[in-house]
């Protein structure tokens, strides 16, 4: 008898409220969605898509510390308004949906404004009350599927700067034999000082660690520095202003994509590892010798006209490969669809050698024509 264990991490979505005194409204919008509200917020959203001129991003630093698979990330960004008039300065960060924000603050002219994380409905009511009374207030909400977008804009006086600091935490999940820390970096312009620093500490020991970025070219690859010892690892990436340039005579940046750190820990015992910190404990286990469980699989294949040519051929090749990998204790079925649908068999069939061969023959008769077609009936 086999037992399956499932650990659920439940996060409650929150709003973040930041009173801003005389500096104007703090504006935050959903990803790909406009918010409708009264007062200054709606005005800012109308100008949301316009990048303000003469805004220089002076510093971007992403500092990650991972201890026992728990990641603590601090993103710091400093922007300067070089214009002679006040402008909105924008701060946008995409973070994993499994992460939760623990702190957000802004430093303007030496004064720090700290966000207050509140329960969603209470924060929304507080925000609406502040806007209706003419007071300045801010509201932060994140949304998305795999990634959440944290977006803020604030009005900054001429020749002044603002420092944004966002802190979020997440429990790393082990998938396909590794833990993955993903950092999305999209500064949208060249940055005077750009840096990613990550330190990993695992009491069990680090089996392997790799660091790379989707935007890292062969020229940038040597800038990814990595040091790994028994229980600790340090990774950094800090390109100069010229190294960030997409071309020698333009201001476009290469830094646009995801930075990954993948690693796994050593497992000396099959029972896993129990760690206790501040009165809390977590039990990590990843058994490597579990018996294989039989599967029930239904393959659904699109044979509409849009699949003609290479698409349908690649689909058929993939199906033939997958069918050959099925084990005899598995059960499977095949369904094709376009304007109508057809089935290989009316119910799931065991993946015996004979059934697999018949299914492979059926797959070879599939053609993309957007209508009915003829195939051999077994």
Tell which wins on pLDDT, 119 or 206: 206
Stretch 68-95: mean pLDDT, rounded?
86
275 lies in the same domain as 301: no
pLDDT band at 276 (very low <50, low <70, confident <90, very high): low
pLDDT band at 249 (very low <50, low <70, confident <90, very high): confident
Q: Answer yes or no: is 378 within a domain.
A: no
- Say whether pLDDT at 54 is over 50: yes
Q: What CATH number does the domain containing 342 carry?
A: 3.40.50.410
- Say whether pLDDT at 68 is over 90: no
Q: Answer yes or no: is 370 within a domain.
A: no
pLDDT band at 12 (very low <50, low <70, confident <90, very high): very low
245 lies in the same domain as 346: no
106 lies in the same domain as 179: no
> What does the pLDDT read at residue 347?
93
Domain final position from 256, 280, 304:
280
> What does the pLDDT read at residue 235?
94
Q: Answer yes or no: is 375 within a domain.
A: no
Which range is least confidently modeled, 12-21, 105-114, 233-242?
A: 12-21
pLDDT (tens digit, 9 = 90+) per residue, 194-217? 999 999 999 889 999 999 999 888
Task: Give the burial string for 326-339 (b: 16+ CB within 10 Å, else e).
Answer: beeebbbbbebebe
Q: Answer yes or no: is 291 within a domain.
A: no
> What does the pLDDT read at residue 5?
31
Token code pair at residue 364: 């070879």
88 lies in the same domain as 124: yes
The candidate with the shortest Cα–Cα distance to 171, out of 286, 273, 272, 72, is 72
Q: Answer yes or no: is 377 within a domain.
A: no
Stretch 83-96: mean pLDDT, rounded?
81
- Say whether pLDDT at 119 is over 50: yes
Cβ neighbours for 373, distance < 8 A, ≥ 6 positions apart: 303, 365, 366, 367
Of the chain, the percentage scoring pLDDT greater than 90 comes to 30
pLDDT (tens digit, 9 = 90+) per residue, 278-327? 676 676 666 666 678 899 999 999 999 888 888 899 999 999 999 999 99
Q: Write out the E strands in 202-288.
A: 206-213, 225-228, 232-237, 257-265, 273-277, 280-284
> What does the pLDDT read at residue 41?
32
Provide the domain limits for residue 302. 296-364
Q: What is the mean pLDDT of the chain?
A: 76
pLDDT band at 372 (very low <50, low <70, confident <90, very high): very low
> What does the pLDDT read at residue 373?
42
- Say whether pLDDT at 167 is over 50: yes
pLDDT (tens digit, 9 = 90+) per residue, 132-162? 654 434 455 555 556 777 777 777 888 888 8
98 lies in the same domain as 115: yes
> What does the pLDDT read at residue 151?
73
Tokens 């603590």 sit at which residue? 72
| Domain count within the chain | 3
- Say whether pLDDT at 31 is over 60: no
Q: Answer yes or no: is 1 within a domain.
A: no
pLDDT band at 120 (very low <50, low <70, confident <90, very high): low
Q: What is the pTM of this model?
A: 0.61
Residue 357: enclosing H or E segment and its boundaries? Answer: helix 353-364
45 lies in the same domain as 89: yes
Q: Answer yes or no: is 373 within a domain.
A: no
Tell which wins on pLDDT, 226 or 94: 226
26 lies in the same domain as 149: yes
Q: Answer yes or no: is 66 within a domain.
A: no
Tell which wins on pLDDT, 87 or 238: 238
156 lies in the same domain as 28: yes
137 lies in the same domain as 210: no
27 lies in the same domain as 102: yes
Domain final position from 168, 187, 214:
168
145 lies in the same domain as 27: yes
Domain final position from 133, 168, 203:
168
- Say whether pLDDT at 130 is over 60: no
Q: Could you tell me where the DSSP H helices lie in 262-329?
A: 310-325
301 lies in the same domain as 274: no
Token code pair at residue 152: 């803020």
Q: How far apart, in whole angstroms, are the C-alpha atoms of residue 308 and residue 54?
A: 50
């Amino acid at each position: 008898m086999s037992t399956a264990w499932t650990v659920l991490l439940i996060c409650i979505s929150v709003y973040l409220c930041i009173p801003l005194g005389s500096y104007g409204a703090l504006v935050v919008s959903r990803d790909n969605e406009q918010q409708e509200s009264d007062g200054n917020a709606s005005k800012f959203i109308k100008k949301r898509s316009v990048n303000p001129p003469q805004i220089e991003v002076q510093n971007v630093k992403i500092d990650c510390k991972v201890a026992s698979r728990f990641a603590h990330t601090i993103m710091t960004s400093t922007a300067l308004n070089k214009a002679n008039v006040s402008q909105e300065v924008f701060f946008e960060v995409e973070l994993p949906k499994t992460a939760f924000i623990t702190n957000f603050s802004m430093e303007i002219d030496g004064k720090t404004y700290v966000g207050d994380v509140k329960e969603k409905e209470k924060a929304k009511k507080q925000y609406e009350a502040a806007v209706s009374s003419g007071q300045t207030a801010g509201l932060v909400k994140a949304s998305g599927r795999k990634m959440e977008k944290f977006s803020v804009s604030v009005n900054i006086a001429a020749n002044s700067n603002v420092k944004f600091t966002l802190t979020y935490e997440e429990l790393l999940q082990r998938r396909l034999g590794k833990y993955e820390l993903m950092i999305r970096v999209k500064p949208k312009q060249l940055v005077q000082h750009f840096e990613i620093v990550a330190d990993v500490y695992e009491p069990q020991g680090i089996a392997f660690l790799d660091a790379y970025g989707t935007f890292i070219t062969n020229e940038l690859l040597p800038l990814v520095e990595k040091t790994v010892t028994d229980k600790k690892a340090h990774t950094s990436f800090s390109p100069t202003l010229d190294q960030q340039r997409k071309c020698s005579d333009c201001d476009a940046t290469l830094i646009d994509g995801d930075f990954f750190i993948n690693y796994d820990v050593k497992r000396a015992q099959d029972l896993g590892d129990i760690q206790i910190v501040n009165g809390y404990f977590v039990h990590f286990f990843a058994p490597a010798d579990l018996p294989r469980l039989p599967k029930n699989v239904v393959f659904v294949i699109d044979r509409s006209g849009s699949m003609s040519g290479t698409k349908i051929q690649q689909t058929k090749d993939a199906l033939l490969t997958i069918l050959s990998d099925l084990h005899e204790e598995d059960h499977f079925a095949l369904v094709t669809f376009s304007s109508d649908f057809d089935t290989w068999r009316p119910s799931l069939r065991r993946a015996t050698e004979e059934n697999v061969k018949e299914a492979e023959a059926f797959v070879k008769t599939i053609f993309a024509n957007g209508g009915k077609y003829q195939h051999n009936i077994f």
